[in-house]
């Protein structure tokens, strides 16, 4: 995609059913919810997390926290198959030392979108982000280091993985509204899992 950023088409195809099952167990313990943004909006995308640190947004800002504010409990442990998958994908993309301590789940129903943003709440910006797409396809916008710069469009389909770091780590990116459809394995939704090294 860009220096430091790789799209691995279909990389998760074979494992998708097992990864999805692990995700379903996770959301049974830490339900998907619509976070509030610091700007006063409610996100259309529903999120949850697993691993030692989970991403939280509320009117006070964005941050990573050890506890789920919804349940008051620590976030569920990162399932082994998800952890191993993220390490494998990062290694394949040229980041052999990646060990994530956070996995965020984003669920998009048809029409849901994610505005252009940077991922900059992680302390260690040398580590890449590994992103796994499951279910309905989406159009991913990938820009530069300025919000107003040009963006490229990529189609992310079931089983696709994006790994990015290095010079692209702070690139602006977003997701256009997801078109309606019904995926044989995942149903009427797109699920994106992002793995990070936060601490
Ligand atoms: C998504 N992904 O694909 C949203 N962020 O649904 C992200 O926001 C993202 O895919 C950082 C790194 C990879 C990503
Ligand atoms: Fe992001």
Please work out, in degrees rounded to the nearest 5, the angle formed at the alpha carbon of residue 37 by the alpha carbons of 183 and 159: 25
Closest residue (by CA) to atom 10 of ligand 1?
131
Ligand whose nearest atom lies closest to the CA of 164? 1
Tokens of 94: 């040229």
Cα separation, 71 vs 73, in Å, equals 5
- 177 DSSP assignment: P
For the whole model, what pTM was predicted?
0.95
- In a structure prediction context, what are the per-residue pLDDT tens digits for the chain, which is 199 residues long? 888 899 999 999 999 999 999 999 999 999 999 999 999 999 999 999 999 999 999 999 999 999 999 999 999 999 999 999 999 999 999 999 999 999 999 999 999 999 999 998 888 888 999 999 999 999 999 998 998 989 999 999 999 999 998 888 899 999 999 999 999 999 999 999 999 999 8
Distance 183 CA to ligand 2 centre (A): 23
Q: Coil, strand, or helix at residue 164? A: strand
Distance 68 CA to ligand 1 centre (A): 21
With tokens 């040229």, the residue in question is 94
């Amino acid at each position: 995609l860009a220096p430091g950023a790789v799209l691995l088409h279909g990389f998760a195809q074979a494992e998708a059913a097992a990864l999805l099952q692990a995700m379903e167990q996770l959301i049974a313990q830490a339900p998907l919810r619509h976070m509030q943004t610091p700007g006063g909006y409610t996100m259309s995308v529903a999120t949850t997390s697993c691993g030692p640190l989970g991403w939280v947004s509320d009117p006070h800002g964005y941050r990573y926290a050890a506890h789920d504010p919804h349940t008051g409990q620590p976030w569920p442990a990162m399932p082994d198959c998800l952890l191993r998958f993220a390490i494998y994908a990062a290694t394949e993309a040229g980041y052999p030392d990646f060990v994530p301590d956070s996995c965020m789940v984003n669920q998009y129903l048809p029409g849901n979108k994610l505005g252009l943003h940077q991922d900059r709440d992680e302390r260690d910006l040398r580590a890449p982000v590994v992103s796994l797409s499951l279910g309905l396809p989406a159009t991913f916008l990938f820009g530069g280091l300025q919000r107003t710069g040009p963006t490229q469009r990529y189609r992310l389909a079931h089983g696709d993985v994006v790994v990015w770091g290095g010079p692209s780590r702070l690139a602006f990116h977003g997701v256009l509204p997801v078109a309606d459809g019904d995926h044989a394995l995942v149903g009427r939704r797109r699920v994106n899992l992002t793995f990070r090294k936060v601490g």
